Structure 1
Amino acid sequence: MDFNALLFLLIGLIIGFGLAYVLIKKLDKSKELQTQLNTLHEENTALLIEQRTASSRADEIQKYYNQLKIDFQALEKTKNDLSNELSALRVHKSNLEEKLENQLNEMQKLQDKFTQDFELIAHKILRQNSSDFSESHQKELAQILNPLQEKIQSFEKKVEEKYQLNRDEQISLKEQIKQLTELNGELNEQAQNLTKALKADTKKQGNWGEVILSRILERSGLTKGSEYELQYSATTEDNKRLQPDVVIHLPEEKHLIIDSKVSLVAYERFVNETDDVKRQNHLKEHISSVKQHVKGLSEKNYQNLSKINSPDFVLLFMPIEPAFSLAMQSDNDLYAYAWEKKVVIVSPSTLLATLRTIASIWQQEKQTRNAIEIAQRAGRLYDKFVGFVDDMAKIDRGLNSAQNAYDDALNKLKNGRGNIIGRLEHLRELGAESSKSIPTHLIEQEEDES
């Protein structure tokens, strides 16, 4: 083999080895690129999953935000409603104060007129002597007294008519509470941020309910101890001791009982749950819990307690407005179910309206009692005054009788033939000794009349 052939062979081997090396490098690079491609594909799949998760989470966050927005609007509406109610109550209070002031002024005017008439009559009686108490003056006295009597009788009639009118205008408490509950039962907004603070702690729920109930009672206008009592203890006919949370005293010695021990654990779970299926389950548990408490409350028969004269129903107080609205909105038959069990479910707003109605009834009752008491006292005072006038009439008759006796005695003394003065003076003229003499004016009167 010549040198050229060897050279070409060597060059061919070098080129072959070079091509082989390049091919091997390309194969390795292809595998590396495939690996990177697979990695990128896996990362892309993971990113797609994360995107779907983030999108779902964003939907949940948007839904939660919308719910919070609804809750805020509900609370804002409740705040505005309470503000409007407060303004209306202030106007009502101002009207009542003005009305009371007018009544007091009318009473004062009547009292002043009565005093003036009394003083006028007393002065007339004291000024007159026995001869002035003639039949004409007694008629004049009657003319003064009769208008006074008519005014007092008119006042008594006016007070009695007003009392009867107020009683006719007051529909029964049972119907009032039913109407208020049905009206406010349409409140369907929820305030979930309030219940989240309670979690599932039943004790905290109980404490919260007591705080809300206490605040409502303080704002109701009722007086603790006289118009409502807390933790009232009484026994049933079979000597079983029961302790209602609150007993409201009503006019005519009647009472109204409030219970606030309803559990809201299921409602708290409903608020904090994000899964729709589980939320529906918690909602059913919430309604079931309320019904169970209604049933238990009905079986206690609070209205049969000794010394308690209660209507045929008990108020079940739910301290969280959205919990009340959710239950009523989700179960349209819940109110009817409770009513059949002689239980009325109330929320803070409906209970406050009910208690303020009772406070208004108490205020009217007190005003009516005061007016009746004033009328009765005025009537008794008039009777006393009539007795006084009768006594003065007796004195008049006695004075007239004494005046007549005095006139008869004086007539015998100085009038007519053979009167005592004439005879005594004739004896003196005949020589009867005397150290004193009859007054000249009597002798002159005797001579003139003789």
Structure 2
Amino acid sequence: MIENIDILAILFFSLFLISLIFLFTLKSKISQKDIELAKLSQNLEFLSKKVDDFLKNEQELLKNIANLEEQNIKLKIENSSLNANIDFQKENNQKLKDDLEEQGKKLELKLNEIMQNNLDNKLKKFDETSLKGLDNILKPFKENIDSFQKRVEESQENSTKKFAELSKEIEMLTKAGLNISQEAENLTKALKGKKQTQGSWGEMILESVLEYSGLLKNIHYFTQQSYKDEHGDTKRPDVIIKLPQNRSMIIDSKVSLNDYEEYIRAQSDEQRAISLNNIVSSFKNHIDNLDSKDYAHYKIGTLQYVFMFVPIEGAFSLAVQKDPTLYEYALKKHIAIVNPSTLTVSLRTIYLYWQSEQSSTLASKLFDEAGKLYDKMVNYTDSFNKIGNQIKALNNSYETASKQLSEGSGNILTRVENLKKLGAKTTKTLKDSKIEFEDFDENRIEVLMLEE
């Protein structure tokens, strides 16, 4: 009996332990599920916020298109108004011309009438006084004609200038209107999924970013420049950036708006999920396609990472949220994905790098020239010192010769004079040909050398 009780106790204790283990395991699973549920709630809230942002961006984009169309309409109205002003100005010019012709005819008739009425009398009394009188009569008319003609010429000149200015304004406004219309049309076509237009639109955005960075086209960067790889195949990247020290960087634009547009316009979660998967697949296809082109081996010195430019940040943000490994997937293939914001920072850094490189090159040339100038100055100083030493030696020799010639008890001049006293026949005296030694001083020699 006691043995049965022990067995029951053991069984009861075992069941109790199993129950505790089961309860503990169940509680752990419930806690884990709660954590997963909290994470899913956070992700759902984050995705809902992103969807709201994307919808808001779409509304802003549509609003911008509407604004562009409104501006285009306003420009067309202004263009019509300017054309009406030109027509009005032409009518005024024509009226002014007609008035001028009419005034000329009236003046001609008036002169003929005056001349006809006074012709007989003037012929009878045609003398110097009559001529002066006729001149006095015609002079006011002539002055009026000259004044009127001058006013007409000034009016025509002003009208011509105004017409030219109006024509320029119309041309500028027309071009502006066409540009706005073209931009709106390009954007609309891109959003409607025309692949060729999408590519051109992406390259246009990339070109704008390049221009904004300060880099100069065909100097710091080249677009659509073809080259042959080591196998002889022709490659044509969208942009080749030239870096200092003979290095290069490749940028290729990739645009895919179809799936993104479908995602934005999707009416159900299922449609959005399908579109989102298509967006991720499209980016991976772009990465694989760019990797197959092997732009990193463009030439020696090219950066090992090729920049894949994505002009639509919203689409890429969705893709990264769906597949966080997308960045790593691209980096493993030596491809760095950039958008307009990140690329602008990179290009601006390259621009500053070029500025620094140019400053360093200029400073290096300046230091080289300074070194050469210093060496020349040293050589000049050595030569100048040699000349000074030679002048001093010449001056010493001159003083020695001068003393030998005229100083001392046995100088040459005294001995020569003694020869004359002894009976040498001469026609001149040493006093007449006396050498003025004081004229040949050191300062005079230096001045003569400088003059030479």
Written as runs of structure 1 = structure 2, the 5 A alignment for 1:180-191 is: none
Equivalent residue, structure 1, for 2:410: 418
Per the normalisation by structure 2, the TM-score is 0.54
1:431 positional shift = 3.3
Alignment-mate amino acid for residue 334 of structure 1: L
Alignment-mate amino acid for residue 289 of structure 1: S
1:400 aligns with 2:392: yes
Alignment-mate amino acid for residue 281 of structure 1: I
Equivalent residue, structure 2, for 1:57: none
Distance 1:312 1:67, change over 3 A: closer
1: distance between equivalents of 2:248 and 2:224?
A: 14
Q: Deviations over 1:233-266 (max 9, x none)?
A: 1111111111110000001110010011343322
2: distance between equivalents of 1:327 and 1:64?
A: 13
Written as runs of structure 1 = structure 2, the 5 A alignment for 1:89-108 is: none
Equivalent residue, structure 1, for 2:268: 275
2: distance between equivalents of 1:443 and 1:311?
A: 85
Equivalent residue, structure 1, for 2:55: 68
Equivalent residue, structure 1, for 2:322: 330
Query: Which of 375, 379, 392 is the aligned partner of 2:371?
Result: 379
1: distance between equivalents of 2:423 and 2:57?
A: 131
Equivalent residue, structure 2, for 1:16: none
Using the TM superposition, name which of 419-428 and 342-351 deviates more: 419-428
1:71 positional shift = 5.9
Equivalent residue, structure 1, for 2:215: 222
How many residues end up aligned between the 2 structures?
Answer: 265
2: distance between equivalents of 1:439 and 1:275?
A: 131
Question: Does the CA contact (< 8 Å) of 1:414 and 1:442 recur in 2?
Answer: no
Alignment-mate amino acid for residue 332 of structure 2: E
Q: Deviations over 1:309-331 (max 9, x none)?
A: 21111000111121122222322
Q: Deviations over 1:322-347 (max 9, x none)?
A: 11222223221111111111000111
Query: Which of 285, 289, 292 is the aligned partner of 2:285?
Result: 292
Q: Deviations over 1:252-285 (max 9, x none)?
A: 1100100113433222221222221011111111
Query: Which of 225, 229, 238 is the aligned partner of 1:245?
Result: 238
Per the normalisation by structure 1, the TM-score is 0.54
Question: Does the CA contact (< 8 Å) of 1:227 and 1:248 recur in 2?
Answer: yes
Written as runs of structure 1 = structure 2, the 5 A alignment for 1:16-415 is: 67-69=54-56, 198-306=191-299, 309-415=301-407
Question: Does the CA contact (< 8 Å) of 1:262 and 1:290 recur in 2?
Answer: no
Unaligned runs of 5+ in 1: 1-62, 76-193, 446-450
2: distance between equivalents of 1:70 and 1:208?
A: 18
1:393 positional shift = 1.4
Other structure's SS at 1:332 match: coil
Question: Does the CA contact (< 8 Å) of 2:250 and 2:306 recur in 1?
Answer: yes
Q: Deviations over 1:75-127 (max 9, x none)?
A: 9xxxxxxxxxxxxxxxxxxxxxxxxxxxxxxxxxxxxxxxxxxxxxxxxxxxx
Other structure's SS at 2:214 match: coil
1: distance between equivalents of 2:273 and 2:436?
A: 125
Alignment-mate amino acid for residue 307 of structure 2: L
Aligned-pair Cα RMSD in Å: 2.9
Higher relative contact order (CA 8 A, sep 6+): 1
Alignment-mate amino acid for residue 318 of structure 1: V
Alignment-mate amino acid for residue 370 of structure 1: L
Unaligned runs of 5+ in 2: 1-49, 63-186, 438-452
Alignment-mate amino acid for residue 212 of structure 1: I
Question: Does the CA contact (< 8 Å) of 2:406 and 2:412 recur in 1?
Answer: yes
Other structure's SS at 1:252 match: coil
Query: Which of 419, 425, 430 is the aligned partner of 1:438?
Result: 430
Other structure's SS at 2:370 match: helix
2: distance between equivalents of 1:305 and 1:386?
A: 49
